[in-house]
Each structure stands twice: as structure tokens, then as C-alpha cells.
Amino acid sequence: MKNKRNKIIISIVVIVLIILMIVLFIVKKNMKSSTDNKVSEETTNSKLEIEVPIVKQSDAKAIDLNSIIDKNEQDVITESISKQETDIEFNTQYRQNDSLAKGKIQTLQEGKDGKQNAIVKSVYKNGELISQKQISSEITQGSVDKIVEIGTASYSSNYVPIAGDTLKVVPSTMAVHTSPDENAEKLITLNKNDQVILKSKKDNWFYIKYNEYLGWAPSDCLQYVDPNAGSDGDQNNIQFTKEQLTQSVGFSMLVNQRSNLSLEQFKKILSQDSNDKNNVFSENADYFYYAERQYNINGVFLAAIAIHESGWGTSSISQSKKNLFGYKAYDRDPSGNASGFENYGQGIDLVARVLVKYYLNPPGTSIYDGETAIGSYYRGSTITAVNTCYATDKNWANGVYKWMVYLYNKL
């Protein structure tokens, strides 16, 4: 019995010892883990202090950060490809007429834009359209050329007035009627030398405009006002002086208005210039005047663009394609893409219309020949506003304005 009890006591002691050993093992393991964690933490902190010291950043780091900030603040440029119906701008044929008074412009046939289905690449800056480039196209309707006669003859007494001419009253008084009949109701009575604008003709009657009045008067009571008499071709027998023509000239001037230079004044500022080595501008000065008169654009501005873009007509595109403006000379292949014209006058006329239609006037503005402006790239009517979408070179406006000042100073 005693032996049995001893065995039980021994077994209990062994079990207790085993439990104590297990407890000691666990405690020792926990202590080791805690020590390891502490060492690891100290090591990590040490590494952090080395890799990210709490000191002022180096200049190199500052430059990198500034570069990142500048990059993030740049304009957002996006592109899209779309199918659009676009206009094919008509060309203008100019014909000289030696029986038409010098400086007069007579339209024989109105031009008509064609239509095409085009694949167009549009570029936007901060969500605003800045340029479009045609990738491919299919013509659905051809354009119709505009035909214009320009007068080359001196005024003669047998000149027959055309629509748009200025006329003056010959007798002491003249009645304006509601229809081409002397018994028709009278609208107003005009006095000798009062000036009117001829709108149309019917038999021996002229349909005329006087202020807000429109009516008919006998053709033999009206006389053509020669724009060249005592002047050099300006309308209404008036030629403005240099001081008058330059009083509003400035970098912020509006260029969707006429310069009011006469034909001879355009010839003066574009002739006998040492820059014009090929005589391109001296031989085509008339067309800047004609474009201004027809489309209400500053012809000096138009000439300055041509000078700036073509290097006074010396660029390869201006010589090979009669294209003074680099029209459609896209960066990818300028020479291959640039439009070609039969003569310089044709290109001057077309670019004038493109500027008036798309760049210089807000959408819906009445422009020429009953047309309204589309205004796709309208950002204002100043030189800098045109620069926004017309040219990628931000200094384009400065270059164009420099030549405008140069030309105005030659008056």
C-alpha cells in the first residue's frame, strides 16, 4: 500500500514538473519574441532615420518637385476623330475690264461653297477647340467659282453705273417713287447733289437707297460720282490722310474692319520695297484692296499675314503653289498638304474669306454675299485673338503686327 502511494506522489511530481517546464518554455519564448521585436523596431527606426532624415531637402529634390508642379499645371490637350460635313471654299476668278472705271469691282457670278464628308481630327485645349485638320474627304457637292470684274479704265462720261455705285442728284429737286412710274406715290424729295447708292436698274429707272429710304428715280436725273476724280480711287471721292488712317492703329485694334486705304495707297505701301525680291506684293497689291472692299477685313492685316508667312513671297510654298499664307500647310507635310492656287489673287481672296467666316466674327454675324459667320475659331477680333487658333506659334501676333506697323509707316 505504501509503495502504491509513493508511485502516485512521484507521478504527480513528474506532471507538475512537466507543466512547469512548459510554462517556463512559453515564458522564455515570449520574452525572446519581445526582445526581437524591440531590436527590429530599433533597427527599422534607425533605417527610417537614415532614408528619410528630418533635414532640409536638397536643391535637386526641390527642382524635381517644381517640375512636377509645372507639369500638373500645364494645359490639357485632347484630340478626337469625327466625321463631319464641311464646306469646300469656292475660288474667285478676277478679270480685268478696261471699260469699267478704275478701282471698281463688279461681281458677274456669285461664288458658292461646295460640300464634302470629311474625317476630321480636332484638337482641344482645356476643352476648347483650337484646330482642326482634315484627314480624308469625299466631295458630295462641287463649289461654284465667283467671277469678279475689276475696272482698269479711267472714268469717262459714258460709263454705265452698276449696283453699289454712288450717284448724285442732277436737277434742283428730284422725287423718289415707290415704283418705277412717275405717277407712283412719292416717298421723299431730294435736292441737287444729294448722294444715293444704286441698288438695281429697270429700263430707264434706278432703284436707289437714301438713308433709310428705298425707291425709284429716273436714271437721267442721277449722275455717277467718279471715285477717282481728284483722288486716287477711294470710294465717295474721299482719300484719308496718313494721320486719319493710323489714329486707331495699335496691338489691340479690331481687324474685322476696313483699313480704308485707297487702291493707290495699297499700291504705295506694297511697291518698291527691297524686301519684295520677286515683286510678288507690288504686282498683287490690288487684291488686298479688293478683298478688303468685298469682305470687310483690314487689308493691311491681310497683307502683313502674307508677308510674315511667306517671307515676302520667297518661301518655296509661295513660289510653287502661289500660296502666300501657308494655307493648309500642316506640320506633318507642309509642302505636300499646302493648297495650290492658279494665281496669288485667288489665294488672297480665299484666305480673306476664311478669316472673316471662321476667325474674326462671332457665329451668326452677317458677313458677305448674304452669308453668316460660322465662327468656329472666333476668340475675338484682335490680332492676338486670331493667334489663339490660327497659329501654334505664340509670337505669331507680334510678327504680324510688326509688319502692319511697317506698312502703315510707308503711307
Rounded-to-integer distance, Cα 283 and Cα 317, Å: 18
pLDDT at residue 174, rounded to an integer: 93
Assigned CATH topology for domain 77-153: Resuscitation-promoting factor rpfb fold (2.20.230)
Q: How far is residue 70's CA from residue 332's CA, in Å, rounded to a whole number?
A: 28
| pLDDT given for residue 76 in this prediction | 85
pLDDT at 29: 64
Residue 236 has a pLDDT of 40
For residue 172, the model assigns a pLDDT of 85
Q: What is the pLDDT of residue 55?
A: 41
- Beta bridge mates, 224: 167
With a threshold of 0.85, does the pTM exceed it? Answer: no
The answer as to CATH 1.10.530.10 being correct for domain 235-408 is yes
Q: Digits of tens for pLDDT over the chain (411 positions)?
A: 556 666 677 777 778 778 877 777 776 666 655 555 544 444 444 444 434 344 444 444 445 666 655 555 577 888 888 887 878 899 999 998 887 777 778 888 889 999 988 788 888 888 777 777 777 778 889 899 999 888 887 665 557 788 898 999 988 889 999 999 988 999 999 999 999 999 999 988 999 999 999 999 999 889 888 765 544 444 444 678 999 999 999 999 999 999 999 999 999 999 999 999 999 999 999 999 999 999 999 999 999 999 999 999 999 999 999 999 988 876 555 666 788 999 999 999 999 999 999 999 999 999 988 889 999 999 999 999 999 989 889 999 999 999 999 999 999
For 66, phi and psi rounded to 5 degrees? Answer: -65, -35
At the topology level, CATH places domain 166-224 in SH3 type barrels. (2.30.30)
Dist CA 102 CA 21 (whole Å): 125
SS3 labels along the chain:
CHHHHHHHHHHHHHHHHHHHHHHHHHHHHHHHHHHHHHHHHHHHHHHHHHHCCCCCCCHHHHHHHHHHHHHHCCCCEEEEEEEEEEEECCCEEEEEEEEEECCCEEEEECCECEEEEEEEEEEEECCEEEEEEEEEEEEEECCECEEEEEEEECCCCCCCCCCCCEEEECCCEEEEECCCCCCCCEEEEEECCCEEEEEEEECCEEEEEECCEEEEEEHHHEEECCCCCCCCCCHHHCCCCHHHHHCCCCCCCCCCCCCCCCHHHHHHHHCCCCCCCCCCCCCCHHHHHHHHHHHCCCHHHHHHHHHHHHCCCCCHHHHHHCCCCCCCCCCCCHHHHCCCCCCHHHHHHHHHHHHHHHHCCCCCCECCCCCECCCCCCCCCCHHHHHHHHCCCCCHHHHHHHHHHHHHCCC
